[in-house]
Amino acid sequence: MATQNDLASKAMSGRDMAADIKTFIFKQYPLARKKTITDSDPLLESGVLDSLGILDLVAFIEKEFLIGVLDEDLVPENFQTINRIAAFVRSKTNGEG
């Protein structure tokens, strides 16, 4: 179980955050492994994530990074790529959202 200090450190490091998100996506979605996506590849357009996948990803983000994802946060721009997801999570952990 991650401690508050671990989570704060994770929030400060975009690379670690992106790596955690990518690991989750690779574990959960076989198409991500098959296509060997990068951090900047489109997840929605490529079919790696669909609407149910987004909900699973949101549940992971909320649990892993201890943030709340609001309905108004559920826009494609926040979930386009691993980099965009990490930037979104960073903004939430920095109190911007």
Query: Torsion-angle region of residue 95: left (phi > 0), alpha (psi -120 to 50) or beta?
Result: left
Percent of the chain with pLDDT over 90: 75
| CATH of residue 43 | 1.10.1200.10
Q: How many domains does the chain have?
A: 1
What is the DSSP secondary-structure string of 14-66? HHHHHHHHHHHHHHH-HHHHHHT--TTS-TTTTTS--HHHHHHHHHHHHHHH-
Cβ atoms within 10 Å, residue 17: 22
Which range of residues forms the domain containing residue 41?
A: 4-93
pLDDT, residue 91, reads 95
**pTM score of the predicted model:** 0.81
pLDDT, residue 36, reads 87
pLDDT digits (tens, 9 = 90+) for 55-93: 999 999 999 999 999 999 999 999 999 999 999 999 998
Which amino acid, residue 49? L
Mean residue pLDDT of the chain comes to 87
